[in-house]
Amino acid sequence: MGDDDELREHWRAIDSSRNIARDYELMITTDLFGWTMVERRWGRIGTAGQVSRSSFSDRGGAARMIASIRRRRESGQRRIGTEYIRIQV
pLDDT at 75 exceeding the cut of 80 = yes
Q: What per-residue confidence (pLDDT) applies to 4?
A: 55
pTM: 0.85
Q: What tens digit of pLDDT does each residue of 32-72 get?
A: 999 999 999 999 999 999 999 999 998 899 999 999 999 99
| Residues contacting 28, CB < 8 A, separation 6+ | 1, 5, 6, 7, 8, 36, 37, 38, 39, 62, 66
- In 1-88, which residue ranges form alpha helices assigned H by DSSP? 59-74, 76-80
Domains of the chain: 7-87 (2.20.140)
pLDDT at 1 over 50: no
